[in-house]
Amino acid sequence: MATAGQPKLIVVADAEALAQAAAERVVARVVANPGRIAICLTGGSSPKKLYQLLGSEAWRGKIPWDRVHWFIGDERFVPESDPLNNMAVAREIFLDRNAPPGHIHPIPTTAESPDQSAEIYARELQAFYGSDQLDPARPLFDLVLMGAGPDGHTASLFPGYPAVEETTRWVVGVPKANVAPFVPRVSLTLPALASCREMLFEIAGHDKQPILTRLLNGETLPAVRARSNGGTLWLVDQAALPEGIRGGR
């Protein structure tokens, strides 16, 4: 298990192997905590295979559903009925069939504005955590799943946006996205996301090669700045690796 600081890079063969490895990390985090477990999911297309696995016959029995609470790191500010809604995708693929309804914690998108939605979700997270101050000795999440966008964003923290610099609030409204889909977003901030035992990035496919190259070069993009106070793992597949190191690890 990685420790605080530099992310640990784990290279697997392809997207299937990556989902398998990610599912193993989810189970490992669940097994490590005999009490109440909090997992922060992510949006986009990268985690879909993982969500399918977690809901499959082979894996669902490994998860103590009555002890796990499911949150989401960012949301597109669209109704739950919209296919762009991140939590709706996770619900449809695996949560609704397995998790108790009270354990699914979507970011509300019926609020008046992304800012208001952010405030409501921050209060929900704080009520769950039992404080509005994060204690480094007591992480908010057991596991935070992440993805990296083509501009180096993660969650809905886009490069150069003020949301990336937020040090106090746990959740913020993001009025305008930097990449498609161009809908307003609501995002957890770097300090809230960092409050976890493990942060797990899933980065797969040739389309990710240009951004992974930049991330590995240490450009100070949000996806590089997102670090767990515990361990940070970057799960990547061969197709996403920069040419120079492909097959070499």
Which residues of the chain form contacts with ligand 6PG (CB under 6 A)? Answer: 42-46, 74, 76, 86, 147-149, 153-156
Closer CB to ligand 6PG, residue 124 or residue 151? 151
Which amino acid is residue 205, in one-letter code? G
**Spatial separation of the C-alpha atoms in residues 34 and 57, rounded to whole Å:** 23
Q: In terms of CB distance, is 147 or 231 closer to ligand 6PG?
A: 147
- Of residues 38 and 87, the one with the C-beta less far from ligand 6PG: 87
Residues 6+ apart with CB under 8 A from 222: 152, 153, 154, 155, 157, 158, 159, 164, 190
**Alpha carbon separation from 174 to 34, 69, 79, 162, 233 (Å, rounded):** 36, 25, 16, 9, 26
Q: Which two three-digit tokens encode residue 104? A: 């699914």
**Smallest distance, Å, CB 131 to ligand 6PG?**
26
Smallest distance, ligand 6PG to C-beta of residue 56, A? 20
Q: Which is nearer to ligand 6PG, 205 or 242 (CB)?
A: 205
**Shortest Cβ distance from residue 188 to ligand 6PG (Å)?**
10
CB of 221 to ligand 6PG, least distance (A): 12
Please state, in angstroms and rounded to a whole number, the distance separating the CA atoms of residues 215 and 20: 23
Instruction: Tell me how far the alpha carbon of residue 155 is from its chain's centroid.
Output: 7
For the bound state, the minimum distance from the C-beta of residue 222 to ligand 6PG, rounded and expressed in Å, comes to: 9
Q: Tell me whether residue 139 or residue 222 sits nearer to ligand 6PG (CB atom).
A: 222
